[in-house]
Amino acid sequence: MKVIWMGERVERTGVHQHAIRVYFEDTDAGHIVYYANYLKFAERARTELLRRLGVESSVLMKEHGVALAVKRCLVDYHKPAVLDDALIVETEVFRVGGASLDLLQTVVRDEELLVSVNIKLGCLDLTSGKPKAMPRDVRARLNNYCDEAQNLTGEAEG
């Protein structure tokens, strides 16, 4: 499937997609995306997925006293992106635990894989800094999203 640049976000079955344009500020002296900026791109895409599901970070912090923080991050850099590239950050949620969330995020240009990020988020109590169960409504929204994605993917394959 060819991904078409359509502004803020492009949807595909089972995978949330967020469009990113590479600006000068994202690059090094050679106009290649600086490696750490892919983590920023991934963060924006995760935030937009959660926002789409009705989960705002500010509400989690204010009303529940928790935040989702990166517990583990494994990044593979396959090919570089450069100035003015139109990228898509694809995010797939593949496990929702009581206090954690596992995702796979990829950065693609057209159909070409540039970066893959395996990430685990943990739900932390803002006061103690210790792990805390995700609020039920958040966990339910994430589980529903995963279930819908699996059902759509299963229907497409079957």
User: So which residues are the catalytic ones?
Assistant: 28
Provide the edge-to-edge strand list for the sheet that holds 66-77.
16-21, 86-96, 100-109, 112-125, 66-77
Q: How far apart are CA 81 and CA 70, in angstroms?
A: 24
Residue owning tokens 């805390």: 132
Between the CA atoms of 50, 52, 58 and 62, what dihedral angle is there, to the nearest 10 degrees?
-90
Q: How far apart are CA 22 and CA 38, in angstroms?
A: 10
| 128 to 59, 69, 125, 135: CA distances (angstroms) | 18, 14, 6, 16
